[in-house]
């Protein structure tokens, strides 16, 4: 009986141990399973705008849905709009997964708004031969393009406090971050690492994943350890809509769409009917105004451009021998130059586009004016007016009134000269069905 009880005891113990093994099996398997994916999204040579903000927000959501270890934002930007930068930084700071901002590829930059985004990342990295800095904000008067100094000081103080807060939160160099805003300083990737502006320098994604491996970061008050070495990558692509709208929110593209829109409407107004030019013009203008709503548009510049185009139209209908054409060229050049009057080149219309456009339109309307002048100088070759200056033959004595034969037709004529039958006469004027003539005098060559 005692032996039987021992067998039962040992059997129960074995079953208990087997149960513990089975319960521990999932955790053991999880310890040896493949590392989770790492999502990657590119902001490659893009101005920070609402589309970029949408791309980053969507990438964070996608990475979360795919249970990614982290999201790598590969970035190359000259800067952009402060409002959109605020939204991107807020999305990164509140991301449920770690966000790694990687200034890439070689030769890339994280300028202006890019500094705020880089510092806000849970981890920040830069590729070789890249640079970061020049985050001084600039506020322009939308009406005249002048710098509003009072508002400038307010925005500068706000930006300085903001970047200081970000740097402290990510345990990065606060002093340098403030200088990037107040003094527009810029540094290379090696200086950035030495000054604790970024976490590490990585030549490519593989090296970046090695740097991130076993790094710990706090997400929502929970410590998360990354296991990124040899982790599979998932690249998040931009949609066709995002690519189109991002290209549209470009000062040069928006400028071209605006001109095409105005010319389409001008053509439609000056020609009967309503067809393709008018419809295409309306579409182009709507797309241009969408871009203007996003870009820091100077309305005085827009007004000058519209005035310049109006001068061209006036010249075409009431030729002033080039006066309105010249005024149109001047208005177009000045208006285009200050349309997006910003200190940053990437937020202005390029002179390489403005000059050929203005010169081209000037040449076109100069050609049209030249043709009009020639038409005015050219003698009429048809109708009664074509007879002026022609030489005919008196078919009767003309003493105040008589008959004249010219171009196979017999006309009533009137003259102050006394002209004998058979003499040549020269037509001075045509009044209804009567010719005003004078005696024709032969001129020696």
Residue 409 CB neighbours (<10 A): 9
Q: How far is residue 134's CA from residue 154's CA, in Å, rounded to a whole number? A: 18
Residue of 12, 129, 154, 243 marked active site: 154
Residue 130 CB neighbours (<10 A): 24
Active-site annotation holds for 203: no
Active-site annotation holds for 154: yes
Nearest to 192 by CA among 121, 263, 139, 138: 121
Residue of 112, 120, 336, 415 marked active site: 112
CB 123 within 8 A of CB 102: no
Please give the positions annotated as active site. 112, 154
């Amino acid at each position: 009986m005692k032996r039987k009880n021992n067998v039962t005891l040992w059997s129960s113990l074995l079953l208990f141990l087997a149960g513990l093994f089975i319960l521990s099996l999932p955790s053991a398997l999880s310890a040896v399973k493949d590392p989770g994916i790492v999502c990657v999204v590119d902001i490659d040579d893009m101005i920070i705008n609402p589309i970029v903000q949408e791309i980053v927000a969507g990438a964070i959501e996608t990475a979360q849905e795919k249970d990614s270890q982290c999201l790598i934002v590969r970035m190359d930007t000259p800067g952009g709009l402060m409002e959109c930068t605020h939204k991107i930084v807020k999305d990164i700071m509140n991301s449920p997964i770690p966000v790694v901002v990687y200034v890439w590829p070689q030769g890339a930059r994280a300028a202006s708004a890019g500094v705020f985004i880089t510092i806000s990342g849970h981890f920040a990295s830069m590729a070789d031969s890249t640079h970061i800095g020049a985050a001084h904000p600039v506020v322009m008067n939308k009406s005249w393009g002048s710098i509003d100094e009072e508002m400038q000081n307010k925005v500068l103080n706000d930006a300085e406090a903001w970047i200081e807060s970000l740097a402290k939160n990510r345990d990065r160099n606060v002093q340098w971050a403030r200088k990037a805003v107040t003094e527009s300083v810029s540094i290379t990737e090696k200086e950035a690492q030495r000054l604790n502006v970024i976490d590490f320098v990585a030549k490519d994604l593989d090296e970046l994943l090695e740097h991130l491996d076993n790094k710990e970061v706090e997400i929502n008050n929970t410590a998360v350890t990354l296991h990124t070495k040899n982790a599979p990558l998932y690249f998040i692509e931009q949609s066709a809509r995002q690519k189109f709208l991002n290209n549209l929110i470009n000062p040069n593209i928006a400028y071209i769409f605006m001109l095409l829109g105005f010319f389409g409407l001008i053509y439609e107004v000056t020609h009967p009917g309503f067809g393709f030019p008018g419809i295409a013009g309306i579409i182009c203008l709507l797309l241009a105004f969408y871009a203007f709503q996003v870009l820091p548009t100077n309305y005085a510049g827009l007004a000058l451009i519209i005035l310049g185009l109006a001068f061209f139209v006036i010249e075409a209908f009431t030729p002033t021998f080039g006066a309105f054409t010249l005024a149109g060229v001047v208005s177009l050049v000045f208006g285009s130059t200050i349309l997006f009057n910003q200190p940053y080149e990437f937020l202005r219309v390029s002179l390489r586009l403005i000059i050929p456009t203005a010169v081209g339109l000037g040449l076109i309307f100069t050609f049209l004016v030249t043709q009009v002048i020639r038409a005015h100088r050219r003698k009429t070759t048809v109708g009664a007016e074509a007879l002026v200056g022609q030489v005919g033959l008196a078919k009767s004595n003309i003493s105040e009134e008589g008959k004249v034969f010219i171009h196979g037709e017999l006309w009533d004529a009137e003259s102050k000269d006394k002209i004998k039958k058979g003499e040549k006469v020269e037509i001075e004027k045509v009044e209804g069905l009567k010719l005003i003539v004078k005696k024709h005098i032969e001129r020696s060559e």
